[in-house]
Amino acid sequence: MDSNPSAASLAVGEAIALTTGSQDVDNNIGEGNVTSYHGFWLSVPAAQYAASYTSTLTVTVTNE
């Protein structure tokens, strides 16, 4: 997953791997910035069968 203030700047090369636990994805959102784009990529090993994959992602935004 990658997050960026611009959708055009999302890049798989800058993405972080998500885990099953809580983790910070973007903690550098400047004051007055109300838009943050998020890109998601799924890496499926070549040995896997073609299928539909689903996941649940919960995004919590806090103001600290």
Q: What is the pLDDT along the chain (64 residues), one digit of tens a residue?
A: 888 878 888 888 888 888 777 777 766 666 776 677 888 888 888 888 888 888 787 777 776 6
Which of 6, 1, 54, 8 lies closest to 24 in space, CA to CA? 1
- Please count the other Cβ atoms lying within 10 Å of the Cβ belonging to residue 3: 19
User: CA-CA distance, 29 to 50, in Å (whole number)?
Assistant: 37
Q: Phi and psi of 14, rounded to 5°?
A: -105, 5
Residue recorded with tokens 């997050």: 3
| Residue (of 5, 4, 13) closest to 41 by Cα position | 13
